[in-house]
Amino acid sequence: MDFLDRENRAKQQTWLLVWLFGAAVLAAVVINCLILGACILPFLEPSRYGLSVFTFVIAVVGNVAGAFFEPFHFLRRLGEHHLGAWITLGTLISVTFGCVYKIRMLARGGPAMAELLGGRRIESGTRDPDERRLLDVVEEMAIASSTAVPSVYLLDRERGINTFAAGHELDNVAIGVTLGCMKLLTRDELQGMIAHEFSHVLNGDTRLNMKIMALAHGLFWPTILGRVLLRGTTEAPEIGESIFDDSELQKSYPLIPVAVLFMTIGSATLPLVRLIKSTICRKRECLADAEAVQFTRNPSGIEGALKKIGGLLKQGRLDTPFAETASHLYFVNSNFEPWFGFLSTHPPLTDRILVLDPKFDGQFKHILSLPSPDAARETEFDRIYEENVRRARAKGNELMADHVPLVVLYTSALVRKVVTLMPPATSTFPLGSNTAT
C-alpha cells in the first residue's frame, strides 16, 4: 500500500466516522427524549390518582407504550412542555462537552492515552529482565517496519494478555503492554503481538483510533463516570484486590445511587458506540495480523499468542474503568464478548487463528494466571466466576432464541389490551395526561 492509497483510505474512513457519529448522536437524542420524556411527563401532568411510586411506574410504562403506538401524540406532549427542545439541547451539550474534554486530554498523543489506562513508562536503562526483553522486541519491530522507536508503557495492574498502540503522529506514538502479556508470553509470541501494533502505526490506524475515542467519549462518558464513582478511583485494582471487598464497598456506598444513575444514562448509547467501533475497526485487525507475520516472518508467534489468550481465564480483559472507551485500540477484546457478535470490535479468536492455522480445532489449552498474594483463592474465584459467566451467556442465548419472540408478541398484545381498556380522553394514557383532574 503506497502513500496515496493510505491517504485515500484515511479520508474514506474519516468521512465514514463522521457519518456514523452523526447518526449515533441523532439516535442518542431520540433515545434520551423517549427515556427522559417518559420519566419527566408524570411530574408535569399530574394524575387524578396522585403521584406515588406505583402511579409513577404505571405512567412511565404508559408513556413508553404511547411513544411506540402513538408517536405523534407523544411528540406533541413533549412539545407542549418544551421537553423535546430541552432534552435535545442537553444531549448535544453533553456530547460536545465529552468530545472536547477527551480531545484536550489526549492532545499529547499516545503517552497521554497510556497514562490514562494506568501505564508506567519503561525507561531505556531498566534492569528488569522482562522489561529489557520487551524494549528489545519493540526496537526490533521498529527496525522491521522502518518506523521510529515509540515510547513503551507497562500496565502493571492488568493480568490479562493485551497490547495497544496509540498516537496522533509517528513522533507521539506509544505502545502499551499489560503485565500478563509481558510475563506469560514467550519472546516469539510477544514479538508477534508487538508487530501487530506496529502494523496499526504504519497504516495510520492509531490516528483514526484516537479520533474514534474522542467522539465515542462524548456519547459514553456518563458510564465511565459512573464506574469511577462506583469504584472510588480511576485506577484498576491491585493484583489480589477486588472492588467487591468489604472495605472497598464501604467507601462507595454513598455514591452507588449516583453511579447507577450515570451508568444507566450512558448504557443507552453503548450499542451505538460499539457499532461505530466495530464498523470501522473490525476488518483492520485481520490486516494487522497478516502484516505482523510479514514483519516477523514467523506466523507461529502471533498464532501462539492468540492461543494463549484463549486459554487464559482472564483472556485480554482489563480492569481499568476506561477499558470500554479504548476497546478498539487493543490487540483483543478488553471486555466480555457482546451478546451480538456484530457489535464486537475484534473478530473472534478462533477465526483469527484459523487464518494462520487452518487445522486448529478450536480448543484452547488452559494456562495459569499470574500469581497474586492469595493465588489459590483467586484462581478458584476466577474459575467459578468464569464458569458462571459462561453458563449465564449460554442460558441467555437459549432464551433469546426460544422465548424472545413470544415475549415480544405477548407484551405487544398486553399493551394494546391496556390501551383499549383505558377510558377515552384527550390523551390515550390518563396517568400521564394533563387532562386528568
Digit-by-digit pLDDT tens for the chain (437 residues) are 455 565 566 667 667 777 888 888 888 888 888 888 888 888 888 777 777 888 888 888 888 888 888 888 888 988 888 888 999 999 899 899 989 988 998 888 899 999 989 899 999 889 999 999 999 999 999 998 888 899 999 998 888 999 999 999 888 999 999 999 999 999 999 999 999 999 999 888 888 889 888 888 888 888 888 877 776 666 665 555 555 444 555 555 667 777 777 777 777 777 888 888 888 888 788 889 999 999 999 999 999 999 999 998 888 888 887 888 888 899 998 887 666 666 788 888 999 999 999 999 888 988 877 765 555 555 565 566 566 656 666 666 665 555 445 555 545 554 454 445 444 444 433 434 444 33
Q: Residues 49-66: pLDDT tens digits? A: 777 888 888 888 888 888
Please state, in angstroms and rounded to a whole number, the distance separating the CA atoms of residues 365 and 74: 55
Q: Hey, what amino acid is at 286?
A: C
Residues with Cβ within 8 Å of residue 72, at least 6 apart in sequence: none
Q: Residues 211-253: pLDDT tens digits? A: 888 888 888 888 888 877 776 666 665 555 555 444 555 555 6
Q: Please report the pLDDT score of residue 417 as a whole number.
A: 46
Residue 236: DSSP 8-state? P
CB-CB contact of 349 with 139 (8 Å): no
Residue with cell 515510547: 151
Please state, in angstroms and rounded to a whole number, the distance separating the CA atoms of residues 75 and 252: 39
Q: Residues 371-426: pLDDT tens digits? A: 655 555 555 655 665 666 566 666 666 655 554 455 555 455 544 544 454 444 44
120 phi, psi to nearest 5 deg: -120, 125
Q: Return the H-helix or E-strand segment holding 266.
A: helix 256-267
CB-CB contact of 101 with 92 (8 Å): no
Please state, in angstroms and rounded to a whole number, the distance separating the CA atoms of residues 312 and 160: 8
What per-residue string of b and e applies to 263-283 under the rule 16 or more CB within 10 Å gives b? bebbebbbbbbbbbbbbbbbe
What is the SS3 assignment for 153? strand
CB-CB contact of 216 with 204 (8 Å): no
Q: Please report the pLDDT score of residue 430 as a whole number.
A: 40
Q: Please report the pLDDT score of residue 382 as a whole number.
A: 59
How far, in Å, are 156, 182, 186 from residue 131 at the CA level?
A: 11, 8, 13
Please state, in angstroms and rounded to a whole number, the distance separating the CA atoms of residues 277 and 275: 5
What is the SS3 assignment for 114? helix
**C-alpha cell at position 396:** 441467555
Residues with Cβ within 8 Å of residue 279, at least 6 apart in sequence: 16, 20
What is the SS3 assignment for 120? strand
Q: Hey, what amino acid is at 233?
A: T
Please state, in angstroms and rounded to a whole number, the distance separating the CA atoms of residues 309 and 417: 51
Gyration radius (Cα) of the chain, Å: 25
